[in-house]
Each structure stands twice: as structure tokens, then as C-alpha cells.
């Protein structure tokens, strides 16, 4: 069920913050609660939660947008993507890039965008001649990725450019794929919610809380193979039976890594 969400701002928002708050409220079709220093009911964020009965409060600020869910707080961060891009720049191997055979100019469709760490790494390698599109079924996560990818400012130029090139689409992967012609993207990728708990991290916490938990079906993987020019890649926990269930036998990934990439070549 979609959580009850309201949007508000940091105290004394400038016009840019107010504009972004309006964008969030329109995108999520939810109320925008003005923050008022003099009004007790909107001054403290916990009073906003009490008066609106919201499960999620989105607080748009000058530097970042925070998502408050109960006691927990989240914001967009390129997290692991930053480290993986740095490692690639040092000439190290990235398992997703190897599994997908992603290169400069590649086109990459990420069917399970989440907070876009994998898509950022793919976009960095594909470069400005490539194309990366990310699909996310959950409106809150799609909006967080959309805003974060295009407004995050703390990183080197190549990382920020890679983030800015990603096109975010709020949609179910299943319906998007069926509308695409054959061989539209070089690589089609899935990183569904793990059936078994993955390592704890702030990025995983928010995905566990707000992400779409539907497991990957054989039907959507077949559709993805039609849309892919070269291959479909699926990320899963090492040792999970998902690859077997989906008929994927080529597995890429370090022997000691908790995750593995299953590859279906055309």
C-alpha cells in the first residue's frame, strides 16, 4: 500500500526550495504543508507528523531532501557508486560492468532503479555517447532518484555528469518492456529486492522499507531478452535458487562476494 506522504520544507525556505517542494507534492500528488516558524503545529517536524498523520514526511531543504519514515531518516546519496566509479578509474574490475559487457557507447536499461547506484556506474562507463534509462515502480523512490541524480553536487565532474545523463521513468518494468521494440537496449538489467536479507546499509534500509518486493518472473525476463540486443543481467544473492528458477546458467561474480550476476546472452 502507498504510504501516506506529505511534503514540507526546511524553515524559512527560499524560492528555489519552495519550487522544489511544489515539484515533490505535484509528482507524488500529496499535500504540501508550509513550515511556519511562528505556528506551533508546523514548526517542529514531529508536530507535522502528528497533525497530518503521515507515514512519510518529505522535507525539502536547500542542500538535500530528507525522507522521514517513523524514527528513520533518508536522503539520496550516490553511496557505493562513488567508490565503484573511483575503483574503475583506477583500472579495477566492476562485476556488473563485466557481466553486462558494458562499454563506451553502450545502452543500458535498468529495470529496477532503486537509488541508482548500479545505473550510475553503468552511465559512467557508457559515457556521453551511451544511454542509460532507469525504471522504478515506487513513486517515492523514483522521485528521490530523479531529484538526487540531477541535483547532487558533491562529487567530481565525471561522476556528476554520469548521474545527470540517467533518465528516470516511474513505471512498472513489465509494462514498459512490452511497449519497446525488439533489441532497443544493448543490456537489460534487473536487481530485484533480495528474498534473503542483504548486508545492512542506509541505501538498503530505505529500499527494504519502500521498495517493490515482487520477485522477478520468468515472463518479464523473456520480455527483457526480446528488448535486449546482447544480454540480460540479473543480480541476486550468491547461492540463491533464483538463477536456476529463471534458467540462467552463466554466473559472473567473485567467489567470495555475497552477490552474483546471472547472464542470459542472446
207 near ligand SAM, rule: CB under 6 A: yes
Interface pick for ligand SAM out of 193, 225, 240, 259 (rule CB under 6 A): 193
Residue with Cβ nearer ligand SAM (33 or 260): 260
| Contact window for ligand SAM (CB under 6 A) among 39-47, 51-59, 146-154, 187-195 | 187-195
- The verdict on 78 binding ligand SAM (CB under 6 A) reads no
**Which region among 5-13, 63-71, 109-117, 151-159 touches ligand SAM (by CB under 6 A)?**
109-117
Least distance from ligand SAM to the Cβ atom of residue 199, Å: 12
116 forms part of the interface with ligand SAM (CB under 6 A): yes
Residue 231 grid cell = 544480454
- Is position 186 an interface residue for ligand SAM (rule: CB under 6 A)? no
Contacting ligand SAM (CB under 6 A), which of 56, 59, 130, 136?
136
**Contact call for residue 123 and ligand SAM (CB under 6 A):** no
Q: Among residues 136 and 147, whose Cβ is nearest to ligand SAM?
A: 136
Written as one string, the DSSP assignment of the chain is -PPPEEEEE-SS--HHHHHHHHHHHHHHT--B----TT-HHHHSHHHHHHHHT-SEEEEE-SS-EEEEETTEEEE---HHHHHHHHHHHTT---HHHHHHT--TT-EEEES--TT-HHHHHHHHHH-TTSEEEEEES-HHHHHHHHHHHHH--SS-HHHHHHHHTPEEEES-HHHHHHTSPTT-EEEEEE-PPPSSPPPP-HHHHHHHHHS--PPPPHHHHHHHHHHEEEEEEEEEETT-SHHHHHT--EEES-TT-SEEEEEEE-
Q: Which residue is nearest to ligand SAM (CB)?
A: 114
Nearer to ligand SAM, 117 or 227 (CB): 117
Stretch of residues binding ligand SAM (CB under 6 A), selected from 31-39, 53-61, 123-131, 204-212: 204-212
* CB 221 within 8 Å of CB 264: yes
Q: Residues in the site for ligand SAM, rule: CB under 6 A?
A: 111-112, 114-118, 135-138, 141, 172-174, 191-193, 207, 211-212, 214
Amino acid at each position: 500500500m502507498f504510504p501516506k506522504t506529505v511534503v514540507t520544507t526546511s524553515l524559512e525556505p527560499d524560492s528555489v526550495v519552495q519550487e522544489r517542494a511544489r515539484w515533490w507534492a505535484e509528482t507524488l500528488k500529496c499535500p504540501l504543508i508550509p513550515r511556519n516558524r511562528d505556528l506551533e503545529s508546523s514548526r517542529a517536524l514531529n508536530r507535522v507528523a502528528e497533525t497530518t498523520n503521515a507515514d512519510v514526511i518529505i522535507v525539502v531543504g536547500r542542500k538535500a531532501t530528507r525522507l522521514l519514515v517513523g524514527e528513520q531518516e533518508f536522503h539520496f546519496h550516490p553511496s557505493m557508486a562513488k567508490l565503484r566509479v573511483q575503483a574503475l578509474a583506477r583500472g579495477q574490475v566492476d562485476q556488473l560492468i563485466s557481466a553486462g559487457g558494458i562499454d563506451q557507447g553502450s545502452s543500458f536499461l535498468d529495470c529496477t532503479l532503486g537509488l541508482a547506484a548500479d545505473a550510475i556506474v553503468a552511465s559512467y562507463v557508457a559515457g556521453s555517447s551511451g544511454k542509460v534509462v532507469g525504471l522504478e515502480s515506487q513513486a517515492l523512490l523514483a522521485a528521490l532518484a530523479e531529484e538526487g541524480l540531477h541535483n547532487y553536487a558533491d562529487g567530481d565532474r565525471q561522476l556528476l555528469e554520469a548521474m545527470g545523463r540517467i533518465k528516470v521513468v516511474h513505471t512498472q518494468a513489465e509494462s514498459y518492456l512490452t511497449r519497446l521494440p525488439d533489441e532497443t537496449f544493448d543490456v537489460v538489467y534487473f536487481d530485484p529486492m533480495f528474498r534473503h536479507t542483504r548486508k545492512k546499509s542506509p541505501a538498503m534500509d530505505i529500499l527494504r522499507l519502500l521498495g517493490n518486493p515482487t520477485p522477478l518472473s520468468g515472463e518479464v525476463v523473456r520480455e527483457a531478452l526480446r528488448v535486449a540486443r546482447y544480454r540480460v543481467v540479473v543480480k541476486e544473492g550468491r547461492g540463491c535458487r533464483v538463477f536456476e528458477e529463471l534458467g540462467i546458467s552463466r554466473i559472473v561474480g567473485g567467489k567470495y562476494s555475497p552477490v552474483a550476476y546471472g547472464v542470459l546472452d542472446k
